[in-house]
Chain A
């Protein structure tokens, strides 16, 4: 049959004219083959995308245990959690009173000190040391640093002032310093993450 017709094109046309049944079968097998190729290609994308996600060694460091027994009232420590600074502050009774004296309704991001600490351990304030504005590290955790107008933390990049409960009071930051997920593993050890 092919010998008699001259070109590929006319042969193709001839085959198409050969009957609806033939056309359908041909189309089906070609579409199936192309779809299988597409499915294979998409499957390959999965490992290519997931290789960029955190690797096992990074994930293993996503929880950090911290001994806070040496933090005296009025002091704070800086630690590293997920490669970012975390502040743990042992509040003095004055600082707690100062935080509680502020009406929650007046705040930009309305949270009380109790919301931001664990029950019974309201003197331990754990916050990320990452300004919620653009991610700078606020001052105020170390001895002698500028604590800002509200006696908490002060971000030197764009002048955000946080109070003793780490809540935003003045400046461009939109929300309070983030309190990471944590729990007391024992009286003196907290497990963050």
Chain B
């Protein structure tokens, strides 16, 4: 769908005319991210992160394909191959540092993108499908990042693979055979390394496919905006190009500066020193933690420390380990239900005073989980992560539904135009061409 006032693509010369008839790719791009896509005029900088996430995906695919040209997924040489890339391959150090830190920046961008969605309720009707696809992308990213971290075959690679596949071992009955099947052996080795490499190469292209669906779904209702008021007339929108291409260009510049500072001056800041020690199945690092972007979910995993029993009988219902695994997966799967948990008719957090307070508490909760996830498993971190985990589920499953029923939202502006300019020429609505289709 598009708005009736969207600009139409006009082929400029015979060649583009020919192309437009046979394969209207330029028209497609024009309508997707060109002047043919009307976008709310009031988007703030939080709306930059979608484009940045797309950029990160391309960056990861390009550097990843380059690294794959020089790498070998064999447990005896994988570590040395990475050092070969760092030392001997022309600009190999650049490719590897850009890829390793690119993953971190990809997650930073994605988290900002997701939390933008939380605050402005971007998941609400009519944009549920965009949200569902987005959560799917996030899950695929987590799988890809995890498998990528195994490839350098350092200590953290090995033990991370062992611990995370061990999670599947917690599943009753099928757990242990499942874990052995996943690894193709009894511990991570050549078989696991090779399949992780294969899937790590494949999944980004699957992600790219889902990203296309995500953007397609976005273009059905059009972009959301900070007021949460739907587009009413042409004066609420500007064409994507040049207005948001210019803004995204600037955002990309800022992003690249920050990214380059890390790649060129602090390239090992976000990694773990242990991963520069070759994998050793006989010696466990003092502290096994995943990459920083998994910390909150790792904290949820570790928060469950005791079996659920029927009180006073000692009959075990669910093992603590399994409960942790279920909670960790549930903590993300819960996002799939968000459009139906938060039924408030108002989207933007700006007009929802009660929701906004709880949103900030939720941010604090995520921060606590983040700290606990990277901390060793002793007090006070266990207690903290337990309380934060409980609050995490409470927020989505209890607080959001209740808040959305009892809250008195502030008065919404009539339109985006009014929100920006302080007034809206309501007569435009009477023009038939400008009426909301």
> Taking beta carbons and an 8 Å cutoff, which residues of A are in contact with B?
2-3, 6-9, 30, 33, 37, 47-48, 50-53, 55-58
**B95 in the interface, Cβ–Cβ < 8 Å?**
yes
Q: A7 — which chain B residues lie within 8 A by C-beta?
A: 5, 234-235
Given that A7-B235, A56-B87, A57-B84 are known contacts, is A51 also in contact with B425, CB under 8 Å in the complex? no
Cβ A50 vs Cβ B87 within 8 A: no
Q: B243 — which chain A residues lie within 8 A by C-beta?
A: 8
> Taking beta carbons and an 8 Å cutoff, which residues of B are in contact with A?
5, 7, 41, 62, 66, 69-70, 84, 87-92, 94-95, 234-235, 237-239, 242-243, 246, 249, 421, 423, 425, 428
Q: In the bound complex, what is the Cα–Cα distance between A14 and B88 (angstroms)? A: 58
Which residue of the partner chain A has the closest CB to B428? A6
Give which listed residue, A6, A8, A51, contacts B90 with CB less than 8 A: A51
Which residue of the partner chain A has the closest CB to B41? A8
Shortest distance from the beta carbon of A155 to any chain B beta carbon, whole Å: 32
Best-surrounded residue of B69, B89, B235, B249 (most CB of chain A within 10 A): B89
Given that A6-B235, A8-B243, A48-B62 are known contacts, is A55 also in contact with B84, CB under 8 Å in the complex? yes
Which residue of the partner chain B has the closest CB to A53? B90
Number of A-B residue pairs having CB atoms within 8 Å of each other in the complex: 52
Q: B246 — which chain A residues lie within 8 A by C-beta?
A: 30, 33
Q: In the bound complex, what is the Cα–Cα distance between A36 and B3 (angstroms)? A: 34
Q: B421 — which chain A residues lie within 8 A by C-beta?
A: 2-3
Cβ A47 vs Cβ B94 within 8 A: yes
The 5 A-B pairs of least Cβ separation, nearest first, read A47-B91, A56-B88, A55-B88, A50-B90, A55-B89
User: Secondary structure of the A side of the interface?
Assistant: helix
Cβ A6 vs Cβ B84 within 8 A: no
Which residue of the partner chain B has the closest CB to A47? B91
Q: In the bound complex, what is the Cα–Cα distance between A48 and B69 (angstroms)? A: 12
Q: In the bound complex, what is the Cα–Cα distance between A48 and B90 (angstroms)? A: 9
Cβ A37 vs Cβ B428 within 8 A: no
Q: In the bound complex, what is the Cα–Cα distance between A3 and B235 (angstroms)? A: 10
Q: In the bound complex, what is the Cα–Cα distance between A37 and B90 (angstroms)? A: 24
Give which listed residue, B66, B87, B238, B249, contacts A51 with CB less than 8 A: B66
Q: A50 — which chain B residues lie within 8 A by C-beta?
A: 90-91
Shortest distance from the beta carbon of A84 to any chain B beta carbon, whole Å: 21
Q: B235 — which chain A residues lie within 8 A by C-beta?
A: 6-7
Q: In the bound complex, what is the Cα–Cα distance between A9 and B95 (angstroms)? A: 43
Q: In the bound complex, what is the Cα–Cα distance between A30 and B84 (angstroms)? A: 42
Cβ B91 vs Cβ A6 within 8 A: no
Cβ A57 vs Cβ B238 within 8 A: no
Q: A55 — which chain B residues lie within 8 A by C-beta?
A: 70, 84, 88-90, 92
Shortest distance from the beta carbon of B222 to any chain A beta carbon, whole Å: 15
Q: B428 — which chain A residues lie within 8 A by C-beta?
A: 6
Cβ B88 vs Cβ A51 within 8 A: no
Q: In the bound complex, what is the Cα–Cα distance between A53 and B66 (angstroms)? A: 12
Q: A30 — which chain B residues lie within 8 A by C-beta?
A: 242, 246
Q: B423 — which chain A residues lie within 8 A by C-beta?
A: 3
Shortest distance from the beta carbon of A31 to any chain B beta carbon, whole Å: 12
Q: In the bound complex, what is the Cα–Cα distance between A37 and B249 (angstroms)? A: 9
